[in-house]
Amino acid sequence: MAVQDAIDTIYGDPVHDWDEFWLQPGRMLLCSVTHPLRLGPRFAACIGGLSHLARAGLAVHLASPWVMPGWDGHLTLELFNAGPAVLKLRQDMPAARAVLIRMDGEPGDPGRHEHYGYPGHLGSRYAAEFGAQLLGSGTGE
């Protein structure tokens, strides 16, 4: 198991007010989308990458692509360069799409996770989410 300090080293310092970013092969960038997504209780969404970027090696969502019904906030994309070339990213560059899904039946309460739609810290909250009991010495035991 990974410890939170090791997970935190995946991320560099936050970058603000950037126009372009050069994503190195094998590196990941967490990016909050520019415009919030407001679904309402009868809609969910799936995040999908753009094929022309995927063919260059850019994966835009490493986690579950599912966006819960009722989502209201800025999505975070995990941009990962899986290809051999350095990729130039630009501010407001289209990198993904949200495919909306209309939910049938009575809308339920989607619940609220404490970080639901939160625009602040984008990194992993592994230790906070799963607790210290799951954080081992890194030996896989």
CA–CA distances in Å: residue 89 to residues 31, 68, 97: 11, 27, 16
Let me know if 78 is a catalytic residue.
Answer: yes
Q: Which helix (H) or strand (E) holds 127?
A: helix 126-130
- Residue of 78, 106, 129, 141 marked catalytic: 78
Residue 111 buriedness (CB in 10 A; 0-12 / 13-18 / 19+)? exposed
DSSP summary character for residue 126: H
Catalytic positions are 78
